[in-house]
Amino acid sequence: VTGYHIPNGVRLLVNVWATSRDPSIWTNPLEFQPERFMSGSKYEHIDVKGTDLKLYHSEQAKEFALA
């Protein structure tokens, strides 16, 4: 993954708290806005139950998902 060798079976932890609060991606990331994911919003297609990596918007999360 991006030049790092990660042995098979290693557990990786992604800092979801930080990646989901990136102000370059989310408007007012620290503000509770459930309407972000409601019908009619640009994020309505994202599964908010925690299994959709689109929520994280982090290059690191995407790279780990591909590994």
Per-domain boundaries in the chain: 16-66
Q: String of b and e for 2-12 (b: at least 16 CB within 10 Å)? A: eeeeeeeeeee
Q: Structure pTM? A: 0.42
Q: What is the pLDDT of residue 60?
A: 54
- 55: confidence class by pLDDT, cuts 50, 70, 90: low
Read off the pLDDT of residues 2-28 as tens digits, 9 standing for 90 and up. Answer: 788 888 988 888 787 887 788 887 889
